[in-house]
Structure 1
Amino acid sequence: MEHTGQTVELDVRPYLRKKVEPFKVIMDTVKALNKNDIFVLHATFKPTPLFGLMKTKGYAHKVEKIESDHWVITFIHKNSGHELTDIEEYQAVQQSPDTPECSADSPPSQIYELDNRGLEPPQPMIRTLKKLEDASLGDEVIIHNDRVPVFLIEELNTLGYDYDVEEQPDGSARIHIHKK
């Protein structure tokens, strides 16, 4: 297919070498992408936790190890028409089943609780989005975080989830997320 987007490159190796968390920079870059853009990320390690998060946003990826401390990850949106050499990953994203409709035969709702306190970003967000991906319609995921998860809230709004935030006296937050 004809490529109508652009290639957006982001090198977070300088951040990582200075022990600065680049998650916000990465997510800001992803938010600015158009569906036809190709996102190329340079990192000092294989950012496996990012793959699950990007998959929830509709992206497939290809990973290349250039040197021991230089990894290049190429992300494309599944609706862009581009192809990755790692076609199995691309097809896995394309073949992810759409959320099924509720039926009268649906099992009773489940409640899942995740205690994300003490985890370094982006682990709380990745754990929560993974649990939501695995949950069935009508299920509720309750998370307990060290603070109100601003970036997760943005993502829940983008993905269309209903949620309630309960700020706790100790500064932590419990969020009830409903999969509808």
Structure 2
Amino acid sequence: MPETEVNIVELDVRPHLSKKLEPFQLIMDTVKELRHEDVLVLHAPFKPTPLLGILKMKGYSSTSERLESNHWVTTFVHKKNKTAAGHISAAVQSNTSTNQSLASSLIEDSGLEDAVSSCEGQPPAIAETSKSEVLSDEATTQELKEPTIALDNRGLEPPQPMMRTLAALERCKPGEVVLIHNDRVPVFLIEELNQLGCLYTVEDQADGTAKVRIEKG
């Protein structure tokens, strides 16, 4: 059978961040539309470290390269994409919108296939239809666990509050609690918490800010 061609899907979130817009939902919406044979190439002004862990749980391995001081390119390959390791270099080289140095980096990255294979032992991708339940009134009346990590995200520009929170959750064990204090209710974060199966409660503050208590599922 002929080998499947690698399809490059590029996403540049630098314009969103320059306008102080939160790009996380855009990234996750793009990931939802990916097929297993697709390769996502993400352009950002920094290395999206927390995102690497989130997509790893969804079955993606990644490689990152810093092209300029404010330009990082991260490539995501799904563990079921068996042809990507052999064809990604040529595919990226033929894609005129992808920086040439990224192609060179991928050619030299002999560990890409091993990285994809190493994800075989990771948990399966979280079902997109899965929903997390907000702590019930009965649960909130019980003695609450002391937070393992407390973050004050007030005054930070997007996407820092979400990225800090997701990075903290990644360090936690199931059942541990992260308490965050944000300038507003983090709508996009809450959607991601539903996907990750985390329990949470939101407490509006008198000054318009919001505290969110998150228990890792």
Partner in structure 2 of residue 163 of structure 1: 200
Q: Is the 8 A contact 1:114 1:143 kept in 2?
A: yes
Could you state the TM-score of these two structures normalised by the residue count of structure 2?
0.61
Partner in structure 2 of residue 172 of structure 1: 209
Q: Is the 8 A contact 2:79 2:120 kept in 1?
A: no
More relative contact order in 1 or in 2 (CA 8 Å, sep 6+)?
2
Higher strand share: 1
Q: State the Cα distance separating 1:115 from its structure 2 match.
A: 0.9
Structure 1 stretches lacking a partner, 5+ long: 99-108
Aligned pair in 2 of structure 1 residues 127, 72: CA closer, same or farther (>3 Å)?
closer
- Cα distance in 2 for residues equivalent to 1:179 and 1:143: 13
Larger Rg: 2
Q: State the Cα distance separating 1:53 from its structure 2 match.
A: 1.5
1:36-59 CA-partner distances (Å, limit 9, x unpaired): 32101234x4x21x2321321223
State how 1:4-83 maps to structure 2 within 5 Å: 6-12=7-13, 15=15, 19-21=18-20, 23-24=22-23, 25-43=26-44, 45=45, 47-48=46-47, 50-58=48-56, 59-65=60-66, 71-81=72-82, 82-83=84-85
Q: Is the 8 A contact 1:64 1:73 kept in 2?
A: yes
Aligned pair in 2 of structure 1 residues 173, 79: CA closer, same or farther (>3 Å)?
farther
Could you state the TM-score of these two structures normalised by the residue count of structure 1?
0.71
1:17-47 CA-partner distances (Å, limit 9, x unpaired): x93246424343233323432101234x4x2
Q: Is the 8 A contact 2:21 2:158 kept in 1?
A: no
The answer as to 2:155 corresponding to 1:131 is: no
Q: Is the 8 A contact 2:61 2:78 kept in 1?
A: yes
Higher helix share: 2
RMSD, aligned α-carbons: 3.3
Identity of aligned residues (%): 47
Q: Is the 8 A contact 1:51 1:61 kept in 2?
A: no
Structure 1 residue matching 2:157: 3-state secondary structure: coil
Q: Is the 8 A contact 1:12 1:22 kept in 2?
A: no
Corresponding letter in the other structure for 1:52: P
Structure 2 stretches lacking a partner, 5+ long: 86-105, 124-144
Q: Number of paired residues?
A: 164
State how 1:97-112 maps to structure 2 within 5 Å: 111=147, 112=149
Structure 1 residue matching 2:181: 3-state secondary structure: strand
Corresponding letter in the other structure for 1:145: N
